[in-house]
Amino acid sequence: MMNQEFDVLIVGAGLWGCVVARELAEAGNRVLILEARSLPGGNARSQRHPQTGIECHCYGAHIFHTSDKRVWEYINRFVHFNDYRHTVLTTHEGKVYFMPLGLALINAFYGTALRPSEVPAFIAEEVRRAGLTGEPRNLEEQAISLVGRPLYEAFIKGYTQKQWNTPPKDLPAFIIRRLPVRTDYNVGYFSDTWQGIPAEGYFGLFERLLDHPGITLRCNTDYLALRDTFPADLPVFYSGPIDAFFGYRHGPLPWRGLRFEWETRDERDYQGTAVMNYADADVPYTRIHEFKHFHPESRLPYESDKTVICREFPADWKPGDIPYYPVNTDASAALLAKYQADAAACPNVVFGGRLGEYRYYDMDKVIARALDQVHAWMDKVK
């Protein structure tokens, strides 16, 4: 490999790697970015469905949302966003509900007509009945303390058990705090200031981030198999799995996997919305994505008599499978601490992204972190 031509090596062309590459290249560095897959974009990659033109998210739906002005302005340099507003519906025992834990769901579930001011006392009574006191120590207690046991059992318990294959009592409370809990009829899934889907598609986003003369992308290239061929003093920004970097020497960090079943259907609209969740444990998938609904501005695919759907099945994971969700338990935290100590002893390597930090990052947090890390590094080497 022509290693002397490059100032910095980046491993992984996901969102983190592409933002880091762009920043380094704009600062005048010659950047080589290696990607194990055949295309950039990591698990946020999308492709246009050949028959219908519909943008399909290859590894599950990605909706960009942020309240971070710096991140919003940054990403808008590369793509325009449509005005898609994410809503999630969920099916439970044959009935459909709006998912955000809010007034629409509460009133539909209980057959009540509560007003916003009545919700806190109603939930407080449910929590009292559940016998919970003190700070919630895990996902189950957190969920019950937010919405009470009946709503937890209907909409969270089964979904979470499927999603994580871990008892909700053994999962951290923060996972459920991702979901908004509201006392009004706002059924938006996110409470952020800005959201949308790149009108140019996620494929367009990655193409544009990497479109800089200082960036060389090499796909189908496994860094770990080649690392001895690089000079030891070449700075590396690494966004592969942190445990793989160290040869899994303390054992593999646990991930949750996914499996997707795709279907092109001869009908205009399968489910009337982009994402339908399935709350019940006896339905083997957690949700169905219907991608045409992410682009209401794009008349052509929207009006097509075909539609593309994808069923998402949680799956067990082993090293070598695609990692999707870090399984944050006490045991994995202890393991991660060992790898973090190893990483701290590698002054030439910056670890980042969902895999490199083993963190359940959203896309906006990945961008913020990438900008912080790469600028801290540039300030240091200046």
Interacting residues toward ligand UDP by CB under 6 A: 90, 99, 155-156, 159-160, 163, 175-176, 178-179, 277, 279
Q: How far is the CB of 121 from ligand UDP (least distance, A)?
A: 24
Q: Which helix (H) or strand (E) holds 164?
A: helix 158-164
Evaluate whether 12 touches 355 at the Cβ level (below 8 Å): yes
Positions of E strands within 42-150: 46-48, 55-57, 64-66, 88-92, 95-98
- Residue placing its CB nearer to ligand UDP in the complex, 90 or 145: 90
Comparison of 152 and 237: residue with beta carbon closer to ligand UDP: 152
Rounded (10°) angle between helices 15-26 and 363-381: 40
Closest to ligand UDP by CB, 53 or 172: 172
Catalytic residue of the set 45, 287, 354, 369? 287
Q: Judged by CB, which is closer to ligand UDP: 6, or 278? A: 278
Is residue 117 packed enough to be buried (19+ CB in 10 Å), middle (13-18) or exposed (0-12)? exposed
Min dist CB 191 to ligand UDP, Å, is 12
The answer to whether 287 is a known catalytic residue is yes
What whole-number distance in Å separates Cα of residue 235 and Cα of residue 237? 7
Closest to 120 measured CA to CA, from 103, 104, 99, 137: 103
Does the annotation mark 48 as catalytic?
Answer: no
Q: Is 59 exposed, middle or buried (0-12, 13-18, 19+ CB in 10 A)?
A: middle
CB of 100 to ligand UDP, least distance (A): 10
Catalytic residue among 55, 141, 243, 312: 312
Smallest separation, CB 286 to ligand UDP (Å): 8
Instruction: Supply the minimum distance, in Å, between the C-beta of residue 346 and ligand UDP.
Output: 29
Catalytic choice (22, 45, 182, 369): 182
152 a catalytic residue? no
Q: Hey, what long-range contacts does 134-140 have (CB within 8 A, 24 or more apart)?
A: 136/173, 137/173, 138/168, 138/169, 138/170, 138/171, 138/172, 138/173, 139/168, 139/169, 139/171, 139/172, 139/173, 139/175, 139/176, 140/167, 140/168, 140/169, 140/171
Residue 90 CB, shortest distance to ligand UDP, in Å, is 5
- State yes or no: is 362 an active-site residue: yes
Closest-CA residue to 370 (of 175, 216, 209): 209
Spatial contact of 236 and 9, defined as CB atoms under 8 Å apart: yes
Backbone angles phi, psi at 28, to 5 degrees: 100, 5
Nearer to ligand UDP, 84 or 155 (CB): 155
Residue closer to ligand UDP by CB (options 79, 176) is: 176
Q: Which residue of the set 178, 218, 249, 265 is catalytic?
A: 178
Q: Measuring CA to CA, which residue among 187, 188, 179, 185 is closest to residue 113?
A: 185
Q: Is 249 part of the annotated catalytic residue set?
A: no
The CA distance from 174 to 163, in Å, is 15
- Which residue numbers are catalytic? 178, 182, 256, 287, 312, 360, 362
